[in-house]
Amino acid sequence: MAMVLVSLIGCSSAQYETRWPSGVFGATNHIYPGQAYSGYATQNTTFDFEQSVQGNGYFMTYLYAKSGNVAVKNYAHGSGSLSSEATLTYQKLYKMNHQNYADYNDFYQNCIQFKEDVAMVYAPMKIAVGTGYYAANPLDYSSLLKEKTWVKNYRAGTSMHHEVEYAHALDKELNIDVKEKFNYTYDPIFEGVGYTRMTVNEDVTDGKAHIGVLQANTEFAANNPTLDNSNLVDPKVANFKNSAWRNPSIEIDEDYWGTYHIEKNMTLEVPYYRKTTLDDWLPCCFGGFDSMTSPDKKPFKSATGIFDCTCFKAPTQAQFPRVY
């Protein structure tokens, strides 16, 4: 018979405040940078999860968490004995302050932390289920051990992957920290950072271990501010065509078959900062409207003849001659 002891503690809290005009802030509306709505909104969601499991039998576990542009997944299955301690900490925070053009700010921060200390030993198991046929004819579970964990930070274009499969025993300590922060102050500052860390300390017996790391060679922190289609920034700004597989700056692919002791400590931090200054008025005849492309001029047809200086002709003689 299998004996399983489970201790589970979870809590979730959310705070939300909004003072937007009716219909402006909602599931079908997006607030774009520079849009002339005034108001303030904030939301802070947190979740804490603790788990302790010990027993013998067959097990299968699945964990997935996504906060903004960061995500963590953990999946495991096998038959035999299991002793596992795990914690998950989650935060999703965003604030919007659109009082006026001089005080316009979008800020959001997303964090996920996952820790696990697990020991598994494979053994074929027969488990009686219910009171009918399968009580008299126990099910045969003979599943080698597998555990798969990955963490992705779309803000930074970072991916880390760890997998153990076909193992007869596994003793592992795993720590994951992933977070992103994005701050947009209307004219002129975009500031963002993506931080990803994975540490592994494990002993694998008669199995396969895989380690993979991928880091994009593009400015994901600048090009993809809202991959989760949040209301903070115009979703058209996000460049969904970018891929970390296109000329990556870091690529690691390792496979180990057999019995190994493995220690890995991997950290990637990608900060981004951009400051721009925009002219409040279009200069005449020195760039401005006159230097714009034809497609860009189309929305401003009424400006033709004014800002392109075609209405101005240099005089050939003085209109009012000087009187001596």
Confidence bin at 19 (pLDDT 50/70/90):
very low
Number of domains in the chain: 2
> Is residue 118 exposed (0-12), middle (13-18) or buried (19+ Cβ within 10 Å)?
buried
Whether residue 222 has pLDDT greater than 80: no
Which of 115-119, 156-160, 208-212, 230-234 bottoms out in mean pLDDT, i.e. has the lowest?
Answer: 230-234
- Cα dist. 316→177, 309, 313 in Å? 72, 17, 9
Quick one: 178 and 319 in the same domain?
no
CA–CA separation, 92 and 154 (whole Å): 15
Torsion sign across C-alpha atoms 230, 110, 158, 208: negative
Quick one: 203 and 84 in the same domain?
yes
* Top-confidence range, 10-14, 116-120, 155-159, 191-195: 116-120
Structural domain of residue 131, as residue ranges?
5-275
Predicted confidence (pLDDT) per residue in 25-63, tens digit: 333 334 444 444 567 888 899 999 999 999 999 999 999
Quick one: 235 and 191 in the same domain?
yes
Quick one: 198 and 286 in the same domain?
no
Given this model, what pLDDT does residue 25 score?
A: 38
Quick one: 270 and 302 in the same domain?
no
Given this model, what pLDDT does residue 309 score?
A: 58
Where do runs of H (alpha helix) occur along the chain?
133-136, 220-223, 294-297
Quick one: 294 and 161 in the same domain?
no
pTM, whole model, 2 decimals?
0.71
Quick one: 131 and 197 in the same domain?
yes
Quick one: 160 and 38 in the same domain?
yes
Average pLDDT over residues 177-186: 89
Whether residue 6 has pLDDT greater than 60: no
Query: Left, alpha or beta for 23 (phi > 0: left; psi -120 to 50: alpha)?
Result: left
CA–CA separation, 96 and 226 (whole Å): 14
Confidence bin at 278 (pLDDT 50/70/90):
low
Quick one: 210 and 140 in the same domain?
yes
The DSSP 8-state label assigned to residue 286 in this structure reads S
Whether residue 70 has pLDDT greater than 90: yes
Quick one: 134 and 182 in the same domain?
yes
CA–CA separation, 95 and 232 (whole Å): 9
Quick one: 213 and 312 in the same domain?
no
Given this model, what pLDDT does residue 224 score?
A: 47
> 153 Cβ partners below 8 Å, 6+ apart?
69, 70, 159, 178, 179, 180, 194, 195, 196, 268, 270
* Top-confidence range, 80-89, 214-223, 307-316: 80-89
Given this model, what pLDDT does residue 209 score?
A: 97
Whether residue 212 has pLDDT greater than 50: yes
Average pLDDT over residues 116-135: 90
Whether residue 207 has pLDDT greater than 50: yes
Given this model, what pLDDT does residue 240 score?
A: 40
Which of 40-49, 100-109, 116-125, 201-210 bottoms out in mean pLDDT, i.e. has the lowest?
Answer: 100-109
Q: What percent of the chain has pLDDT over 70?
A: 65
Quick one: 58 and 12 in the same domain?
yes
Confidence bin at 279 (pLDDT 50/70/90):
low
Confidence bin at 149 (pLDDT 50/70/90):
very high
